[in-house]
């Protein structure tokens, strides 16, 4: 690969900020340069290093391409590295071992239900059908999972695997290593700034800020990379972009925290929209219902509640000690129920708790107790007192709950009780709960080949996208553990499509 590549076509470099041209638009711009210089040329450039970006880069490299992966932050993994490491897959050996019947068809039905009619079913089906091969792909690259499946909210059966590390880092680290070993050119602190396109509109390169120090927008030095087959955008969501998320939902103001890393600012998505990529369901933004108002970001409580508080315990309104929703409903249903506890526009934080048996698998319990975001109580009455809950009412609620578990029938909210336990083994462990902005279901429109489409529905040559930056797959609400499935499956699909693309001569 030559270090400096040139083109015989006429190019126009660096229009001023705000200048933009649409399909067939007439534009005034700076003088054209005849020969744009590429500092280096690759077959495929992947932007972003979460599940989707790593899977795409690895797949592309294994397919024989010269691949560059750029990551703007100082570490690989993106937001994926700090997610809970939960991966929902239909039909794993672990499910079979546990006697759980499952199928892609059943998982697809669960996801369609959660999507509330907005899901782009062909994309969703690809994710589901690809989840088992994607799981096997991770095994080949050294990912380790716990030896049991969990029952996440909205799923009809336990089908969620989890990395032994209980974080997505358990996937992004081995995939990063594998990318390096196989010869993907991996650049940290490299931020995509601009697309370079030829006169037909095809994406043929990127201007990249190398040595970028997030969030200093003028740090680093500019380089221009050419790309023969395509750019794969795997840049994630915009949960940390306050202005843009408030345009879509004015409720998501600065008072609502996000579970995401600080880099989830969405400029990858915005850069595609700005050149005419189709916006799809951008205002479908998911809040994680299992978070704590007592710590920042994803924190320790999210994982505690996901594995212990919700599936093994109950959540109650502190004003009356009563349960108020199915603790295993999908994220949107739970979030809506919790946010419904507002009083005069101010949050009334509910409390979620379980007992000593319920916390057996909760790896973040110890640190949660240490930092005071999870609390331990010998008696239900003590728990009630600590959170200002009427004690009699809470004792009564626990008794009713235990009876429902006994009868395997949640008469109040129809929760599936297959894994539920009676709350009768003190001590009890409790935390306060409030949702945080977690995931952007909406994004840029793609085909089933992960090609980006423009607002007229036309494929944008040389441009692919996968993972959270894309829209439509999950409709109005993504089920837990399905971001990993989406990222890994569609990352590989994007790479396969780019590999098949005709190479432009640069």
Whether the CB-CB separation of 475 and 296 falls below 8 Å is answered with no
Is the link from the previous residue into 215 a cis peptide, with omega within 30 of 0? yes
CB of 401 to its own copies, least distance (A): 31
Contact set for its own copies, span 327-386 (CB under 8 A): none
Query: Residue 13 CA to chain centroid, in angstroms?
Result: 34
Q: Which residue has the tokens 């006429």?
A: 10
Rounded to a whole number of angstroms, the minimum distance from the CB of residue 351 to its own copies is 25
Residue from 92, 260, 284, 292 binding its own copies (CB under 8 A) = 284
Out of 273, 431, 440, 489, point to the residue binding its own copies (CB under 8 A). Answer: 273
Q: Could you give phi then psi for residue 10, rounded to 5 degrees?
A: -85, 135
* Residues 118, 242: Cα–Cα separation, whole Å: 24
- Residue 503 · residue 229 · CB < 8 Å: yes
Q: Which residue in the set 103, 156, 181, 247 belongs to the binding site for its own copies (CB under 8 A)?
A: 247
Rounded to whole angstroms, how far apart are CA atoms 121 and 127? 10
Of 270, 399, 412, 417, which lies in the binding site for its own copies, with binding defined by CB under 8 A? 270
Among candidates 410, 435, 470, 408, which has minimal Cα distance to 280?
470
Closest separation in Å from C-beta 289 to its own copies: 17
As measured in angstroms, the least distance from the Cβ of 202 to its own copies is 8
Q: If we measure between CA atoms, which residue out of 81, 423, 123, 73 comes closest to residue 265?
A: 73
395 near its own copies, judged by CB under 8 A? no
**234: nearest Cα among 58, 64, 112, 480:** 58
Alpha carbon distance 449, 496 (integer Å): 8
Which residue lies nearer to its own copies by CB, 120 or 323?
A: 120
Q: What would the x/- binding string for its own copies be over residues 221 to 240, using CB under 8 A?
A: ---x----------------
Among 6, 21, 211, 213, which residue sits at the site for its own copies (rule: CB under 8 A)?
A: 21
Q: Which is nearer to its own copies, 11 or 298 (CB)?
A: 11
- Residue 39 interacts with its own copies (CB under 8 A)? no
Binding window for its own copies (CB under 8 A); candidates: 131-139, 248-256, 389-397, 413-421: 248-256
> Of 6, 15, 129, 210, which one interacts with its own copies (CB under 8 A)?
15
For residues 51 to 90, the per-residue mask of contacts with its own copies, x marking binding by CB under 8 A and - elsewhere, is ----------------------------------------
Closest contact distance (angstroms) between CB of 60 and its own copies is: 23
* Contact assessment for residue 422 and residue 403, using Cβ atoms and an 8 Å cutoff: no
Options 139, 274, 419, 503; binder of its own copies; rule CB under 8 A? 274
For residue 5, count other CB atoms closer than 10 A to its CB.
20
Structure tokens at 249: 């939902």
Q: What's the closest the beta carbon of residue 112 comes to its own copies, in angstroms? A: 10
Is residue 474 within 8 Å of 482, Cβ to Cβ?
Answer: yes
Q: The dihedral of CA 73, 79, 83, 88: what is its sign? A: negative
Which residues inside 84-143 make contact with its own copies, applying CB under 8 A? Answer: 117-121
Among residues 332, 329, 446, 320, which one has the least CA distance to residue 384? 320
Tokens of 462: 């040389």
Complex with its own copies: residue 140 or 199, whichever CB lies closer: 199
Q: How far apart are CA 57 and CA 261, in angstroms?
A: 22
Q: 267 vs 112, 152, 270, 504, CA distance in Å?
A: 29, 31, 5, 26
Question: Which residue lies nearer to its own copies by CB, 272 or 398?
Answer: 272
* Cis amide prior to 230 (ω within 30 degrees): no
Q: Based on CB atoms, which residue is closest to its own copies, 103 or 247?
A: 247
Nearer to its own copies by C-beta: 26 or 388? 26
Site for its own copies in 429-488 (CB under 8 A): 442, 445, 454-458, 460-461, 472
The footprint of its own copies on residues 250-269 (CB under 8 A) is 250-251
Nearer to its own copies, 131 or 470 (CB): 470
Binding its own copies (rule: CB under 8 A), the pick from 104, 211, 279, 427 is 279
Between 238 and 290, CB nearer to its own copies: 238
Q: Which is nearer to its own copies, 195 or 298 (CB)?
A: 195
Task: Estimate the crossing angle of helix 104-114 against helix 121-140, to 10 degrees.
Answer: 130
* Residues 12, 199: Cα–Cα separation, whole Å: 10
- Site track 173-202 with its own copies (rule: CB under 8 A), x = hit: --------------------xxxxxxxxxx
Q: How far is the CB of 478 from its own copies (least distance, A)?
A: 15
Nearest to 56 by CA among 238, 233, 227: 233
Given the structure tokens 């909205």, which residue do they identify? 154
Kindly list the catalytic residues: 331
Residue from the set 4, 23, 98, 448 that interacts with its own copies by CB under 8 A: 23
CB of 421 to its own copies, least distance (A): 36
Site size for its own copies (CB under 8 A): 75
């Amino acid at each position: 690969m030559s270090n400096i590549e040139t083109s015989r076509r006429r190019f126009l470099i660096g229009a001023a900020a705000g200048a933009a041209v649409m399909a067939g638009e007439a534009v005034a711009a700076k003088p054209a340069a005849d020969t744009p210089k590429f500092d280096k040329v690759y077959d495929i450039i992947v932007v972003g290093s979460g599940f989707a970006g790593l899977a795409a880069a690895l797949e592309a490299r294994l397919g024989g391409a010269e691949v560059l992966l750029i990551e703007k932050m100082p570490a690989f993994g993106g937001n994926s590295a700090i997610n809970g490491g939960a991966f929902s897959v239909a039909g794993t050996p672990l499910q079979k071992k546990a006697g759980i019947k499952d199928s892609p068809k059943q998982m697809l039905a669960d996801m369609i239900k959660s999507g509330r009619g907005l899901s782009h079913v062909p994309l969703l089906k690809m994710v589901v059908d690809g989840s088992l091969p994607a799981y096997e792909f991770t095994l080949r690259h050294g990912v380790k999972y716990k030896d049991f499946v969990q029952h996440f909210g909205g799923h009809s059966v336990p089908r969620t695997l989890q990395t032994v590390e209980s974080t997505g880092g358990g996937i992004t680290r081995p995939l990063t290593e594998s990318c390096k070993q196989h010869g993907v050119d991996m650049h940290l602190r490299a931020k995509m700034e601009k697309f370079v396109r030829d006169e037909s509109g095809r994406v043929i390169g990127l201007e990249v800020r190398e040595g970028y120090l997030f969030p200093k927008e003028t740090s680093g030095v500019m380089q221009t990379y050419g790309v023969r087959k395509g750019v794969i955008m795997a840049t994630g969501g915009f949960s940390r972009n306050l202005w843009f998320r408030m345009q879509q939902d004015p409720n998501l103001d600065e008072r609502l925290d996000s579970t995401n890393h600080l880099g989830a600012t969405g400029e990858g998505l915005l850069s595609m929209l700005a050149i005419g990529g189709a916006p799809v369901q951008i205002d479908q933004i998911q809040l994680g219902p299992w978070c704590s108002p007592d710590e920042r970001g994803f924190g320790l409580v999210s994982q505690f509640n996901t594995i212990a508080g919700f599936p093994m315990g109950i959540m109650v309104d502190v004003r009356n000690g009563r349960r108020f929703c199915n603790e295993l409903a999908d994220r949107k249903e739970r979030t809506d129920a919790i946010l419904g506890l507002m009083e005069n526009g101010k949050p009334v934080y509910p409390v979620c708790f379980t007992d000593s048996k319920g916390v057996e698998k909760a790896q973040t319990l110890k640190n949660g107790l240490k930092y005071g975001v999870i609390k331990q109580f010998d008696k239900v009455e003590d728990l009630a007192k600590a959170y200002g809950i009427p004690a009699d009412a809470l004792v009564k609620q626990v008794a009713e709950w235990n009876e429902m578990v006994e009868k395997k029938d949640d008469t109040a909210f129809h929760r599936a009780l297959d894994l539920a336990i009676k709350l009768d083994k003190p001590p009890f462990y409790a935390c306060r709960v409030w949702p945080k902005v977690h995931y952007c279901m909406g994004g840029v429109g793609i085909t089933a080949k992960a090609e980006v489409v423009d607002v007229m529905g036309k494929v944008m040559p040389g441009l692919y996208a996968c993972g959270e930056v894309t829209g439509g797959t999950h409709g109005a609400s993504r089920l837990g553990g399905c971001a990993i499935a989406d990222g890994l499956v569609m990352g590989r699909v994007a790479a396969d499509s780019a590999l098949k693309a005709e190479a432009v001569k640069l």
